[in-house]
Structure 1
Amino acid sequence: MSPSGDQMSPELKDLVADTREQSENKVNDVLSKLKDLVGRTSLGDQRDLEACKLSLYSHGVLQYCSSSLKFSPAKIHGGYAVLTQMADLLSTCCVGLGAFRDMEVFSHEFLPSVVESLLFLAERLMNRALRDKAHNEIIRLFRKVFDSIGWLLRAHTHLIHHVLGSKHYENIQICEDDDVSFVTVTMWNNIFRANGAVVAEMGNRALTDIMDDIVYKMSSSSNPVIGRAAVKTLVLIMDHSSSTHQLIHRRYRGLADLAVKDWRGKGFDSVLDQLIDHLRSDVPWRDTKSIN
């Protein structure tokens, strides 16, 4: 990553200077100045905002923001709340840069590292929340970090594969806490609702990883909030890709019966009926073996 050669404003110079110290000491200063710079620029022309985001990337500010998500919250005034704000601002600045020379490096090297930093923070928040369930604020921050991840994935769909391959995401995914489960299922629901084409584009392997998790949560939880989110997401998947019908029929036999037995009368029968109709429709296939 190298400077783009643009003329730096005094505000940007000041911000860049603060990011040269890779430690917790400057996190609040960087966050405050970055908020101000992006906020003021967003009020103007869209091209100015694109140029601002590109400058933040080119001069290493976004790299600092990504690295800061792994800093010790105990050494930062405001702790997790400040890091969550940084995550939100970072994801905002990683979307809408326009086309530029180093786009390949940005997309396939920098953005995956940002996703990993966001997931690192999310897992840390999850572990903190699980240690002390009285900390509802921590769950709220966990949800906000996943909002930031979802925002990135909607804009850069190739990052979905990086999320699914992350050890941090795997640790979050296998957590059976209802609050955590709801957040992860809701993220996929929001992504597929915003861009249904993603379902067909992401490939069966990635989609199967997501559906396996959703079906497991649907079958193992008794919480209607989880059930509704899982059912809505499966319906979205089947609505947006007819090729998934055969996959789901083969892989999740008995799911329609489970849906009726466990979730009928729990407050979301309308969307449940849509799922059951999909599952019980006649889908021809030659090989009746389950997909591995």
Structure 2
Amino acid sequence: SGALTRVKTRFYHSGVLSHCVRVLSLSPSRLRGIWASAATLAHLTSSCCVGAEPGSRSEAFHRLFLPSVVDVLLSLAGQLMSRSEAPPLLRTVMDAVGWLLSAHPHLTAQVLSSAHYEQIQMSDDVTRSETHHTTSCLPEDFLSQLNDESALLLLNDAVAQLALSSDAAVGGASIRLMSDSQRSFDVSAGLDSLLEKDWRGRGFEQEVDQLIAMPRPFRLSRRRRRSHS
């Protein structure tokens, strides 16, 4: 609503959101005992960044402030990995990241190339499934809003998930993302055998068949395809 937009905009211009980022940037020792509150603050900060109207400060908002929000959210997610209460809190934080991405697709490359994101991808299946929820629940037209570099990062991340995870939710989301994509992407030569060996018979046969049957030229980047046209 208009009133909510005005509140979010006021939070940004008044420095409230910047203060939230500073709080989320506190060292782990200062966040000890208040992890749930930090996760809630991450959710609220992300929510306020979606729908705010920065006006004359639009460039600073998109190029400086939003990337700083992504940094602190991913850092917090990395810290939560070692906590016993991690799964639900990690889901809250990664949902906040996903909410940001859904409204600001230009942040995708930053998320997927983050050392914190990579660290979480190398963790156990439970933690990884919470993280992959970030990209698996994005809008259907999300990929079409990305530039080639970001789209390729996201699609290749999905391929990596198939190799790293045995979780059906993670694998299913990755397979559906690739099969629904109208963007071409480079894949490892072993994708077909990986699909046949590890993901056949897991409940998404149609998508697996579609990926395996995908013509090889389609898997080249759009830039390379144009160069041959």
Please indicate, yes or no, whether the TM-score normalized by the shorter chain is above 0.5: yes
Name the CA distance, whole Å, in 1 between partners of 2:218 and 2:42.
46
Q: Larger relative contact order (C-alpha < 8 A, sep ≥ 6)?
A: 2
1:150 aligns with 2:95: no
Show the counterpart of 1:261.
197
| TM-score between the two structures when normalised by the length of structure 1 | 0.67
Q: What percent of counterpart residues are identical?
A: 35
Deviation track 1:138-192 (CA, whole Å, cap 9, x = no partner) reads: 211101101000101111111112223433223223x231123223333222225
Q: Which runs of 5+ in 2 are unaligned?
A: 221-229
Q: CA 1:48/1:180 → structure 2, altered by over 3 Å: closer, same or farther?
A: same
- Structure 1 residue 271: Cα displacement: 2.7
CA–CA distance in structure 1, aligned partners of residues 219 and 180 of structure 2: 22
1:206 aligns with 2:153: no
Q: Sort the Cα spacing of 1:221 and 1:162 in 2 relative to 1 into closer, same or farther, 3 A.
A: closer
Change (3 A) 1:220 1:145: closer
User: Structure 1 residue aligned with 2:112, among 157, 160, 164?
Assistant: 164
CA apart distance, 1:113: 0.6
Larger radius of gyration: 1
d(CA) in 2 for partners of 1:187 and 1:213?
Answer: 12
TM-score, L = length of structure 2:
0.84
Aligned: 1:223 with 2:167: yes
C-alpha contact (below 8 Å) 1:228/1:268 kept by paired residues: yes
Cα distance, 1:78 vs structure 2: 5.7
- Once superposed, what is the RMSD of the aligned Cα atoms? 2.5
Partner in structure 1 of residue 48 of structure 2: 93
Aligned length: 220
Partner of 2:226: none
Unaligned runs of 5+ in 1: 1-45, 129-134, 287-292
Shift of 1:261: 2.0
Are 1:82 and 2:37 an aligned pair? Answer: yes
Give the CA deviation at 1:227: 2.2
Return the match for 1:127 from 72, 82, 86: 82
Match of 1:52 in 2: 7
Question: Is 1:71 aligned to 2:71, yes or no?
Answer: no
> Aligned in 2, Cα 1:256/1:53: closer, same or farther, shift over 3 Å?
same
- Which residue number in structure 1 is paired with residue 217 of structure 2? 283
